[in-house]
A = this chain, B = another copy of it.
Amino acid sequence: MSATPLRFSRVVGALPSIVPFVPPEAFEREMGAALRLRIGANESNFGPSPKAVAAMSAASAHANWYCDPEGHVLREALARRHDCRRDNIALGAGADALLGLTVRSFIDVGEPVVMSTGGYATFAFHVNGFGGKLVTVPYRGDRNDPMALAAAARKCSARLVYLANPDNPSGSWLDAATQLKLLADLPKGCILVLDEAYADFTRPGILPECDPEDTRLIRVRTFSKAHGMAGARIGYAIAPAEVVRAFDKIRDHFGVNRVAQEGALASLGDPGFIADVVRQVEAGRQDYERIARDLGLVPLPSMTNFVAIDCGSNARAKAVLTRLRERERVFIRMPGLPPLDRCIRVSVGTPPERALFAEALRRVLADLPAA
């Protein structure tokens, strides 16, 4: 064995060791027991479409073949759906991979990127991971603050501004007009990275209509939420063809697995299933809002598949989260930074799961000192 010390690249060597998300499996290992309820990662407990499951099962038998690295058929289907050209669609192993490709494609070491303080942790992870400089702007009224984001971008000459809409972890949303205003307010050459992971759950008027060739905008979508395929790893970007070609210069060409591509295609072919999931999720949000209010907590408005519930203080939210896990074996998560860190964040489960959550939350709160 050699004792030569390892010398990492400058960027990687300077990064701290952090764990972006502790998974439910790690808690199960720690507790030595299975969770009763897994409603922390905004997964869809309504599952993938049966058509997607059948397609993925069938594809498993052909998993010896590499995927089509051009993702031709799926990109055609997505282009039809979004009324754009196939050249405007980039596939990725989940939205996370596309966020990474975006940062890598546009950010040189030290260049500024603007997002909300406490916004989606994985985007921040990628900005740090490629040596970008994160500039963050506080939420305002528990929502992304588009005027402050634009002002910060102008002030630091940001290359990228990240906006999740609807937002994670707040569940809040901006309407289409507000987003177009933000786009217009960005400094020249700045790109809005619009993470629309929760797009399927929105009402009309929330998703802006934009030219896919608009060089100020990259939209990111995923099959992880309404389509219930988080574990399959597949998402896509809608972007100018020149951006898609830039991704082609650096992406893992065979990285979007065959099973996920087949599953995604089948899922696109089952709009009735997705519409039903969206209806069930809306009913579930209403359940959570009622459950929270019944227990004296305040639910934040949400247009996603989760609800942030205000517990009154960070200490109380932490206590609720920890006790739910340790005493009730219920896995939820919570935002990490103010002002949202007074909330717990609960993903919409099935009706029996919501009933189980309500009981568990009631017991935990009964045992906590009043706020």
Instruction: Name A residues whose Cβ lies closer than 8 Å to a Cβ of B.
Output: 1-10, 12, 15-21, 23, 25-26, 29, 38, 41, 43-48, 52-53, 56-57, 59-70, 72, 93-94, 96-97, 100, 104-108, 122, 129, 159, 188-189, 191, 211, 213-216, 224, 228-233, 240, 242-243, 245-246, 248-250, 252-255, 257-260, 263
Contacts A63-B263, A64-B230, A96-B255 supplied; 4 other A-B pairs, CB < 8 Å: A16-B249, A57-B57, A60-B60, A63-B231
Q: Are A253 and B63 in contact (CB under 8 A)?
A: no
Interface centre among A4, A10, A45, A233 (most CB of B within 10 A): A233
Q: Are B60 and A94 in contact (CB under 8 A)?
A: no
Residue of B nearest to A66 (CB): B230
A262 to B204, CA, bound (A): 39
Among B8, B66, B122, B213, which residue has its beta carbon within 8 angstroms of that of A231? Answer: B66
Of the A-B pairs whose beta carbons lie under 8 Å apart in the complex, a sample of 26, sorted by A's number, is A1-B213, A2-B215, A7-B159, A9-B104, A12-B249, A15-B250, A17-B245, A20-B253, A25-B70, A47-B61, A47-B62, A48-B64, A60-B263, A63-B229, A63-B232, A66-B230, A67-B231, A67-B233, A93-B257, A94-B255, A96-B252, A96-B254, A129-B250, A232-B258, A233-B257, A257-B260
Residue of B nearest to A107 (CB): B9
Contacts of A253 in B (CB 8 A): 20-21, 122
Contacts of A258 in B (CB 8 A): 231-232
A85 to B245, CA, bound (A): 41
Contacts of A240 in B (CB 8 A): 6
Residue of B nearest to A233 (CB): B257
Q: Are B45 and A64 in contact (CB under 8 A)?
A: yes
Residue of B nearest to A64 (CB): B228
A72 to B231, CA, bound (A): 15
Q: Distance (Å) between the CB of A319 and the closest chain B CB?
A: 26
Q: Are A3 and B215 in contact (CB under 8 A)?
A: yes
Among B46, B57, B211, B246, which residue has its beta carbon within 8 angstroms of that of A1? Answer: B211
Q: Are B43 and A53 in contact (CB under 8 A)?
A: no
Contacts of A250 in B (CB 8 A): 12, 15, 129
Residue of B nearest to A240 (CB): B6
Q: Are A21 and B69 in contact (CB under 8 A)?
A: yes
Q: Are B47 and A230 in contact (CB under 8 A)?
A: no
Q: Distance (Å) between the CB of A312 and the closest chain B CB?
A: 30
Contacts of A20 in B (CB 8 A): 253
Q: Distance (Å) between the CB of A121 and the closest chain B CB?
A: 10
